[in-house]
Amino acid sequence: MTILRAFAGAAIPALAAWTIGRLILRNRELPASLACAAGGALLSLVLFTLFLFHAAKPPILIMVALIAAAPVVWLRPAIHIAAPKWVWPIAAIYGGLYFLYALTPEVQSDALHYHLWLATQTQSTGGFPSLISFYNVLPQGMETLFALAYVIGGEQAAKLLHLACLFGCVTLMPWIAARLGLAESTGWIAGLLFAITPVVGISSTCAYTDATLVFYTLAALALLEANQPVAAGLCAGFCYAIKFNGGWIAGILFVVFLARRQFRSALLFTAAATIIAAPWIIRAFVLTGNPIAPLANSLFPNPYFHTGTIQNLSAYLRSYGGLRWHQIPFQLTIRGDILQGLLGPVFLALPVALLTLRNRAGRRILAIAILLAIPWTFNIGTRFLMPALPFLALALIAAVPRPLAFTLLAAHMVLSWPQAIHTYAPDGTWSLDPDIPIQIPATYAKDKSVEVPMSNLIRSNTTNEDRILDLINAPAAITRRHLVNVWQSASGDRIGHAMELARTPGPGQFYEFRARPDKPLEGLRLAFTQSSSAPTAIREVLFFGDDRQPVKPNIVWSIEAQPNPWEATLALDRNRASAWSTWQPVEAGMYWRVDFNTRLTLQEIRIIADNSALKAGLQLHDSSGKQLAADLPRPAPILNLRLAAMRLARREGITHVVAKRGESQDVLDRIGQALEEDPHDWSLDRIARHDNISLYRILP
């Protein structure tokens, strides 16, 4: 029954998408998968609207799907591309294998953390999660379709729907090859070469979105060649709704329309793409003030994401920890342990594809492949090369004689089999588990032995109103709680950094700057005069009057800062664990400023700042810009900041902390170890535990 529900859960959304697409694409000579693509984009838009108004509950979603699929009884079937006889044995072997993997319960991290997040929301709020975090503001076009599949057939239905996109890719390849001037058989070989690639296999059999992006990329290009600008625009817009880098596809096609002087088609294409992509852009802007949040926060500053955190993440994704360019080809093809997946040794032959430069079709194929590979340079993980991979495979097959093409395909089949991968790839390479084929799909949950108990621990001991500081990267989609991750939002950044400071107080951690004004002040400006490669922070600014008593901030004081003006007040909250921070490398001219509502006679001003403020040339000025004489900076007294860090967490709305006691040098593991050793020193009460994971409640 579970398997039948899973198939129904994937089939009903696909049928609804095809029906909608057929009403748009009246040309029955086009492959049926193109109608599915165009209709799926519009169906996702309808589901977006339901989630926006918190109406995406199971009965409503099922009713929408059935209504959308109902006209199928009046539609004549579209043509299908007849595959050569030799395709069927290969499709049966690898198709059956992939079906088996897709029918197992979801165990992949990204799916359990966010790709299925919207799907699980249908069981509770029926809307978008209220918490503003990194993944919540990303476009989630395919995730809306996952939600529809999920309410019918569970997580396996979402996986099968994603797998269907891979099959759509294979069927489109011969059609595209023919339009490029190649034989359809070349397209079939290239499509199969792409489909059985190890990273494609593992990504397509889980609830990820990589195969979907490839499918919609191919569909948009095919519809361009078929002179269907509206449908091409729908597919290109949905590329953006799947992943940010999908917006690159829309840009490429728009330029092609202009280059061909098809201005009316360019206008229709743009309008259709905008209809699909704009809702996600508008939603991000309304939530954060940044239309492409969580990226480009330096262009669109906002209080929800720190520029430096996203910049550090981007820098890591461009090198995966310092991987050198000469190491990348072998990482992509043979190893895959660092770049999270591999293409297989056959793709070491890709330089042979340069032979296709001798003819026009080959030059077009390689140009398309290069253009589609450009976004990969911003995240060099293997699966992010997938949009370009079908055309790289097509160029390779077109460059070699037919017998050699079949030899490459046969070798790829052998080397991509799960048991074979682990004979040449190191342990830890992201690929299909070789043990799954001997398991019973309905009971297989090997990796869930970690994810599910972790989720149950949190869900069983908290309520929907609680906010949990997540120091273990818990699976948010199945936990269904307000999890605040330490890097996915500005709030998590602040708390996580405070806890790391509190874990290891030491000499020289903070420095104290003192000044004694010789006249009443109307304000104070702290400015950094030198650039620095590290961020810095102002932790406390203390004002002392004539009676040597602290002058408390008045609500009419005007406080500003650049950058992060919304955090400027943290320098006046009498909590050294919190701070106004640059959260990015210091640039000369960055400042923090307070203007008083009256002239204050001050005996002394004390500034507690991170030691990195010394390198940034911190200077004190009055409101007129005159520099104030200050004593030489001295190390600030060492304090226990653990209670202060928890005060900050409570002020940010955190009620619980989940942490792991670990042996690694990972920052979060070290914090978890400190919590484990003395929770009361942190004002925490351990309320639940499973193995090395503990759930704490923050005491009042």
Model pLDDT, residue 446: 46
In this structure, the number of other CB atoms found within 10 A of the CB of residue 200 comes to: 27
Residue-wise pLDDT for 214-233, tens only, equals 999 999 999 999 999 999 99
Mean predicted confidence (pLDDT) in 437-449 = 49
Q: 233, 269 in Cβ contact below 8 A?
A: yes
Is 50 exceeded by the pLDDT of residue 444?
Answer: no
Mean predicted confidence (pLDDT) in 380-393 = 97
What is the percent of the chain with per-residue pLDDT over 90, rounded to a whole number? Answer: 81
Model pLDDT, residue 526: 96
Is 90 exceeded by the pLDDT of residue 598?
Answer: no
Examine residue 301 and say whether the peptide bond preceding it is cis (omega within 30 degrees of 0).
Answer: no
Mean predicted confidence (pLDDT) in 272-295 = 97
Half-sphere exposure in the Cβ direction for 493 (13 Å, CA) = 21
Mean predicted confidence (pLDDT) in 477-484 = 91
Q: Place 80 in a pLDDT band, splitting at 50, 70 and 90.
A: low
Residue type, 322: G
Residue-wise pLDDT for 566-587, tens only, equals 999 999 999 999 999 999 999 9
Q: 297, 306 in Cβ contact below 8 A?
A: yes
Q: Place 76 in a pLDDT band, splitting at 50, 70 and 90.
A: low
Q: Which of 141, 187, 189, 195 is nearest to 164 (CA)?
A: 195
Model pLDDT, residue 107: 87
Is 80 exceeded by the pLDDT of residue 662?
Answer: no
Residue-wise pLDDT for 514-571, tens only, equals 999 988 999 999 999 999 999 999 999 999 987 778 887 776 789 999 999 999 999 9
pTM: 0.94
Residue 632 to residue 629: CA distance in whole angstroms = 10
Residue 34 to residue 19: CA distance in whole angstroms = 11
Q: Place 179 in a pLDDT band, splitting at 50, 70 and 90.
A: very high
Q: Which of 537, 543, 536 is nearest to 574 (CA)?
A: 543
- Interhelix angle 141-179/87-102, rounded to 10 degrees, is 170
Mean predicted confidence (pLDDT) in 626-644 = 91
Which 8-state DSSP code applies to residue 361? H
Model pLDDT, residue 321: 87
Residue 692 to residue 551: CA distance in whole angstroms = 46
Model pLDDT, residue 545: 87
Q: Which residue has the higher pLDDT, 276 or 631?
A: 276
Model pLDDT, residue 81: 64
Mean predicted confidence (pLDDT) in 456-476 = 93
Q: Place 428 in a pLDDT band, splitting at 50, 70 and 90.
A: confident
Q: 661, 692 in Cβ contact below 8 A?
A: yes
Is 80 exceeded by the pLDDT of residue 665?
Answer: no
Mean predicted confidence (pLDDT) in 36-61 = 96
Residue-wise pLDDT for 325-343, tens only, equals 899 999 999 999 999 999 9
Model pLDDT, residue 547: 72
Is 60 exceeded by the pLDDT of residue 448?
Answer: no
